[in-house]
Amino acid sequence: MAVKKIGSQTIKLLNPPSIISAGSIVGPKEGDGPLAQYFDKIVQDDLLGEDSWEMAESALVKEAANIALGKVNLTLDDMEYMFGGDLLNQIMSTSFAARDMKVPFFGLYGACSNFTESLSLASMIVDGGYADQVITTTSSHFSSAERQYRFPLESGNQRPLTSQWTVTGAGATIISSVGEGPYITYVTTGKVIDFGIKDAANMGAAMAPAAVDTIRAHFTDTGFKPEDYDLIITGDLGIIGHEIAMELLQKEGYNMSKVFKDCGVEVFDNERQDTHSGGSGCGCSAVVSCGYLYKELQAKKLNKILIVSTGALLSSTSSLQGESIPSIAHAVTIENKLN
């Protein structure tokens, strides 16, 4: 048995890498939301001067990377690998950003689980001594996602109350072998879970069982309990998915009530901003983590958190073919102090 493996799905990092910097950039709606003060940059033009929503999203990726690098006086030349992904077909916005960034590149696809999928792989590569400094990027864009997965924006379709609003934004982290935290200490890798939900306008319900499966595995493997964390936050279950996940975990004996949140619930003010079930998209957990959570960790208002980004692995083709929605969630523990 590999020595770093604990339980069946979790790695304990023996040389925990530091997240030495994080950068976040969001669009106008996110910048008008309750977490506005935590984002590094809010753009008012969500086309960012580009000709298409896809290339605008690509610009978000590059800018998030620039922000993260600038904070620690590093450049792309200092980055040994880039781990990145997004929601678009062939991860278009990330691929085109990687073209300009010129860093050895591992493209990932985990739908909205991308933020923690990239942190998982990046932290193992740094912990294992394969690199000293790597960059991760994750993005989504309301307009590129909407027209790919749902309807042309111009048709002004009515959105069901279960639907979520794809976050326009990107987050980037710099993971380093040298640093003073926050440290990535545990990585729990999810399995694909499918409870048979077919409604692509209710992705929170589809993803909740995957989040529960990974959180349960994390607790089982590590022996941690909910109260060992200051915060356990899922990616983008939204209001409906969050309630389902809370209830499912309660049934398994985990009282999450004091520590359990969801990035999709936090990122918008649902009363005022009318997003229905909350935010979604890869960018959701990326900007909430790189903006809000990272700054709360730095301010020591949070000291040990579990981020569980959640991905719905549907495609518009699989939906048209009547398939249900396979989902996945990956968890990483981030702490200010090493024991």
Tokens coding 240: 């409906």
- In order of 14, 47, 222, the CA distances from 127 in angstroms are 7, 38, 18
Tell me which residue of 79, 84, 48 sits closest to 63, measured CA to CA: 48
Considering the complex, what minimum distance in angstroms separates the CB of residue 336 from a second copy? 24
- Residue ranges binding a second copy (CB under 8 A): 1-5, 8-9, 11, 51-52, 54-55, 80-81, 85, 87-92, 95-96, 98-99, 101-111, 117, 120-121, 124-132, 148, 177, 189-194, 313-318, 321, 323, 326, 328
| DSSP reduced 3-state for 45 | coil
In residues, how long is the chain?
A: 339
Considering the complex, what minimum distance in angstroms separates the CB of residue 215 from a second copy? 14
Widest pairwise Cα distance in the chain: 55
Considering the complex, what minimum distance in angstroms separates the CB of residue 331 from a second copy? 11
Considering the complex, what minimum distance in angstroms separates the CB of residue 251 from a second copy? 21
Q: Which is nearer to a second copy, 157 or 316 (CB)?
A: 316
Q: Which is nearer to a second copy, 117 or 262 (CB)?
A: 117
Q: Which is nearer to a second copy, 265 or 331 (CB)?
A: 331
Burial class (CB within 10 angstroms; exposed 0-12, middle 13-18, buried 19+) of 139: buried
Contact 188, 331 (CB under 8 A): yes
Q: Which is nearer to a second copy, 11 or 43 (CB)?
A: 11
Tell me which residue of 243, 11, 198, 29 sits closest to 119, measured CA to CA: 11
Considering the complex, what minimum distance in angstroms separates the CB of residue 284 from a second copy? 17
Q: Is 45 left (phi over 0), alpha (psi -120 to 50) or beta?
A: beta
Q: Which is nearer to a second copy, 148 or 298 (CB)?
A: 148
- Whether the upstream peptide bond of residue 28 has omega within 30° of 0, thus cis, is no
Tokens coding 19: 């997240």
Task: Produce one character per residue of 282-293: b if its CB has 16 or more CB atoms within 10 Å, e if not.
Answer: bbbbbbbbbbbb
Please give the radius of gyration of the chain, using alpha carbons only, rounded to the nearest integer.
Answer: 18
Q: Which is nearer to a second copy, 81 or 292 (CB)?
A: 81
Considering the complex, what minimum distance in angstroms separates the CB of residue 74 from a second copy? 15
Q: Which is nearer to a second copy, 265 or 332 (CB)?
A: 332
| DSSP reduced 3-state for 189 | coil
Considering the complex, what minimum distance in angstroms separates the CB of residue 161 from a second copy? 25
